[in-house]
Amino acid sequence: MERIVILGGGFGGLTVATELETLAASGKAKVTLVERNTHFRMGFNKQWVLDGRRRPDEGRRPYASLRARHAAFIRDAITAIDTGSRTVQLTSRRLEYDHLVVALGAELAPELVPGLSEGGYDLFDDAAIPRLKAAVEGMTEGTLLVAVASTPFKCPPAPYEYALLLDDMLRRRKVREAVRLLLTTPEPQPMPTAGKVVGAQIRALLEEHGIEFLTQYKPKAVDPTTRIVGYDNGAKIGYGILAAVPPHRAPKVVRDAGLTDASGFVPVELGTFRTSAPDVYAVGDVAAIKLPGGGPHPKAGVFAEAEALVVARALAAEVAGVEPTTYAGIGTCYVETGGGMAAPAEISLLDPSGPRARMESPSVAGLAAKEEFERERFGRWFGG
Ligand SMILES: Cc1cc2nc3c(=O)[nH]c(=O)nc-3n(C[C@H](O)[C@H](O)[C@H](O)COP(=O)(O)OP(=O)(O)OC[C@H]3O[C@@H](n4cnc5c(N)ncnc54)[C@H](O)[C@@H]3O)c2cc1C
């Protein structure tokens, strides 16, 4: 029986395990999913906790209720991957594989910017969000600085959404006029892969909400005592509250396995998601994928899922002869704009003339579609 081991129970790993359920049930393959956490939650849940739509203990699902009943679920930390001996070391045991899917996401590395951990709140860390919420709720004046530390980062619209949601929080408390809200990013424009039109739409939203916006600003160091961020371009910005998107890289266990390149992520072939190691695939945030024009493939749950589906079908085709599927590179994100609205943005990455994106106007229906996005995935992966 073929042994398929899936590392990581996020968007990518959950999709592979769910998609291989029929194969596992048929007895033709032993499917094992390894994840260190007890519960899954979506990235945007952090934003809903920040602005008070959810409590920190809401919006999660236990791996104990996985719908992929024929997959073995192991809750453990992965400590080593050896593609030579085709083994994975966990804290408690060693697993052998015939096919390995690495879906371990991105590791957050705030320590790569000196002072960032001490001086700022990490917008991508669940634990930091309630503390940031309390700080913003106590703010009556000064500068609230949202800073993107480096690229790539997961969810290209996330910093823009955060700035708009923070604006909304301050407006609700009627202190917005007294607070300077500022967003800096090393990017040349918002969501570069989505193109100039979507970039201009996001800029217009920021402007409409009085959010100052500076591009090609890469933080070099943060001084937590004086509360000043120093940038690569020599600029310095003082802040009362700093909320940052930290640097991202592949998790240490993946880097130690020799699977990464200079990008800090795992290079894979677009469409097959095969790594340079035999029978090892990488999907989602952990992967470095180049689009046909040479640009970077964006990191987002919706794409992790689409890539994982292709890999799962390729494995099912190899083991059981079922029909494989090709990667379309199409995904929709629901860009939160505050005020109970979101703007659906569809992007088609593999268009022959380059990535093509279209973003609708913000609407209440757009946010309802985002809520449905979550409900649908929870149902598909966990039932109920
Ligand atoms: C604020 C925010 C908002 C977002 N909004 C959206 C959105 O609206 N739409 C969208 O499509 N995407 C969104 N995203 C992005 C999305 O969350 C990620 O792109 C997606 O989770 C990537 O899936 P993945 O499977 O590659 O990795 P993850 O979902 O990160 O899964 C990786 C898993 O591996 C596990 N793991 C890592 N290391 C180990 C180890 N050593 N041992 C055991 N387990 C390990 C982790 O615990 C984790 O569960 C958002 C992200 C953020 C932060």
All domains of the chain, ordered by start, with CATH? Answer: 2-106+250-327 (3.50.50.60), 111-244 (3.50.50.60)
Task: Report the pLDDT averaged over residues 340-369.
Answer: 97
Q: Which pLDDT does position 381 carry in this prediction?
A: 98
Q: How far is the CA of 105 from the centre of ligand 1 (A)?
A: 5
Substitution candidate for ligand 1 out of 50, 285, 310 with most atoms within 8 A of CB: 285
CA distances from 346 to 240, 325, 330 (A): 36, 21, 7
Residue 296 pairs in a beta bridge with: 290
| pLDDT-derived band at 369, boundaries 50, 70, 90 | very high
The residue whose two tokens read 């180049």 is 290
As a whole number of angstroms, the distance between CA 205 and CA 117 comes to 29
| pLDDT-derived band at 260, boundaries 50, 70, 90 | very high
What ligand 1 atom has the least distance to the C-alpha of 284? 26
As a whole number of angstroms, the distance between CA 89 and CA 95 comes to 6
Q: Which pLDDT does position 96 carry in this prediction?
A: 98
As a whole number of angstroms, the distance between CA 284 and CA 273 comes to 10
Mean pLDDT of the chain: 97
What ligand 1 atom has the least distance to the C-alpha of 12? 25
| pLDDT-derived band at 279, boundaries 50, 70, 90 | very high
Q: Output 75-82 pairs: Cβ under 8 A, ≥24 positions apart.
A: 75/35, 75/36, 75/37, 75/38, 76/34, 76/36, 77/36, 78/7, 78/34, 78/36, 78/104, 78/253, 79/253, 80/253, 80/256, 80/257, 81/7, 81/253, 81/254, 81/256, 81/257, 81/259, 82/257
Which pTM does this prediction carry?
A: 0.97
Nearest CA to 268 out of 297, 309, 302 is that of 297
